[in-house]
Amino acid sequence: MADTPLIRLGTRQSPLAMAQAHETRARLCAAHGWDEAAVELVPVIASGDRIQDRPLAEIGGKALWTRELDIWLAEGRIDAAVHSMKDVETLRPETLTIAAILPRADKADVLLGAASLDAIPESARVGTSAPRRAAQLLHRRPDLRVVGIRGNVATRMAKLEGGEVDVTFLAAAGLQRLGKEQVGNRLEPEDWLPAPAQAAIGIECRTDNAQARDYLAAIDHGPSHAEILAERRLLEGLGGGCSSPIAALTTTEGDTLVLRAAIFSADGRELIEYSASFARGDADAPRELAARLLGRASPTVRALFEGGA
């Protein structure tokens, strides 16, 4: 074994991000027959973790999750960065490449504080900062009150337990990666659409780093990568950002992807939804689906999709 690590993985310092980095290291070691010391984990406190009192859209969007890691990649302080793909901007620098997507976990959301959406008490306070969750909920339950909360899994669970909100949502995949599988009540993705790229861990490296790309290729999961690329192409076509209520669910059927997507008005009153089936790797079909959605949307909804991602 070399005296220095073979690859340095940058990661946010939150508990969930660290769990994702540990999973990535374990998969790299298993794929290459390495000892754990061959993969160094390099944590950073991201801007998005430091600033939690305002919505992301007000303070810089999804770039707050990637900014520090991008800088470290450019400076050569790390060889690759581990991301929750749901939190990665749609348009990335050409100097960076998403070299691997790990096998996608459970795409579902979990509801905490009530047994089901219908069981939430009338006029209850629902804690979420996600436009997709807020709009989808208000479409189903316009009587409920949305309260903006941000923070990691523990923070949001504490706000619920402290009575700041009556119910809240978390991603099933995140809870599973933290060993909290029994928390809350799972919402079927077919009934409650998840966020684009939800439950996917992606590893990004510099495009010109051939060795890192070679290492990471060994842990790339082709079907999951194809789903994430399709959903990110949908986002690109929509031009959505952190304030855009977008939901998407992709299922894989052999070499065919079925992408179901919905966009909402912020108050949930307007919903536009379509599905499309296309061959894996078809880059045009998701953008065509985006055009259909926007073509049916009112000017009010289209205005939510003009800021880019």
Cite the active site residues: 87
CA dist 28 → 102, 211, 285 (Å)? 11, 13, 33
Burial of residue 76 (CB within 10 Å: 0-12, 13-18, 19+) is exposed
Q: What angle do CA 290, 234, 105 make, to 5 degrees?
A: 140
Beta-strand pair 109-112/185-187:
antiparallel
Q: What is the Cα–Cα distance from 294 to 280, expressed in whole angstroms? A: 23
Instruction: Please say whether the dihedral angle defined by the alpha carbons of residues 111, 114, 120 and 124, taken in this order, is positive or negative.
Output: negative
Minimal CA–CA distance to 220: which of 240, 241, 200, 196? 200
Using an 8 Å Cβ cutoff, are 241 and 262 in contact? no
Using an 8 Å Cβ cutoff, are 246 and 235 in contact? yes
Q: How many CA atoms lie within 13 A of 117 on its CB side?
A: 18
Element (H, E) at 101: strand 96-101
Q: How many CA atoms lie within 13 A of 187 on its CB side?
A: 24
